[in-house]
Structure 1
Amino acid sequence: MKAVFDDSKPIFLQIADMILEDILDGTLQEEEQIPSTTEISSFYQVNRATIQKGLAILVEAGYVYKQRGVGMFVATGANEKLQEQRKTEFDKMFIKPMIEEARRLELNKDDIWKLIMEGYDD
């Protein structure tokens, strides 16, 4: 998890995002217990209620589940679900606008592919 917060969004959302990144990159595996609210709170010097609010978002979204008296765990399928969500966001934020601009510039699929491959090889 990264240790620096910024003012771009509330800390509880940044905590949730950090945990999601750890799920996505495999730092946290499915069915693995995540650090407790006390551990996260102590590490980042953030109020436990803030941590709990971030974790509640993950529970509600189905990425994490609570096991009463034991802790919180990464849900089975969380990585796959997160990848699908990110692919959808990627398409909406980058691919669709790129295609719209390519059409305005009268670029065909081959032109776009060539530009992507040239950029990818850099």
Structure 2
Amino acid sequence: MKNQLDETKPIFLQIKEQLEDSVINESVKPGERVPSTNEFAGYYQINPATAAKGINELVNEGILVKRRGVGMFVTEHAKTILIKKRKKTFYENYMLPLKNEANKLNISKEELLEMVERGENHEN
């Protein structure tokens, strides 16, 4: 877990994203238990309801499953679900604006692909 929270973003969202990142980078694997609402609350000195909000969103998305009296666990298909969701978000937040700006500047598909392939090697 991160030591500090970002004051510019809702806490429940940060907890949710931390858990998502842990699933994607496989520091938490399918079937493994994740910290409880109370563990998050104690660690960050926050209200347990705040932590629960982020965790419950992951339950609703099929990323975590509650096992009564035992805890929260990562589902078998959590990583696949998250990658699909993040790819969609990536497309909407980055690719669509990129394509729109490229159209405004009359940048062809070929030129755009060339720019992407150049990546970090391009200085201008």
Q: Structure 2-normalised TM-score?
A: 0.88
Gaps of 5+ in 2: none
Partner Cα separation in structure 2 for residue 55 and residue 95 of structure 1: 29
Aligned residue for 2:85, secondary structure, equals helix
Name the residue aligned to 2:8: 8
Report the CA distance between 1:17 and its aligned residue. 1.3
Name the residue aligned to 1:32: 32
Q: Structure 1-normalised TM-score?
A: 0.89
Name the residue aligned to 2:41: 41
Report the CA distance between 1:3 and its aligned residue. 2.2
Name the residue aligned to 2:54: 54
Aligned residue for 2:31, secondary structure, equals coil
Partner Cα separation in structure 1 for residue 121 and residue 4 of structure 2: 32
Partner Cα separation in structure 2 for residue 120 and residue 92 of structure 1: 23
RMSD between aligned residues: 1.6
Report the CA distance between 1:23 and its aligned residue. 1.0
Q: Is 2:75 the counterpart of 1:75?
A: yes
Name the residue aligned to 1:108: 108
Report the CA distance between 1:37 and its aligned residue. 2.3
Instruction: Look up the equivalent residue of 1:62 and give its one-letter code.
Output: G
Instruction: Look up the equivalent residue of 2:111 and give its one-letter code.
Output: D
Instruction: Look up the equivalent residue of 1:6 and give its one-letter code.
Output: D
Gaps of 5+ in 1: none
Partner Cα separation in structure 2 for residue 32 and residue 112 of structure 1: 42
Instruction: Count the aligned residue pairs.
Output: 122
Identical-pair percentage = 36
Report the CA distance between 1:11 and its aligned residue. 1.1
Following TM superposition, where does structure 1 have runs of at least 4 consecutive aligned residues deviating by more than 3 angstroms?
A: none
Name the residue aligned to 2:117: 117
Partner Cα separation in structure 1 for residue 55 and residue 38 of structure 2: 12
Report the CA distance between 1:116 and its aligned residue. 0.9
Give the direction of change, closer, same or farther, for the CA distance of 1:121–1:74 in structure 2 (3 Å limit). farther
Partner Cα separation in structure 2 for residue 17 and residue 105 of structure 1: 35
Aligned residue for 1:46, secondary structure, equals coil
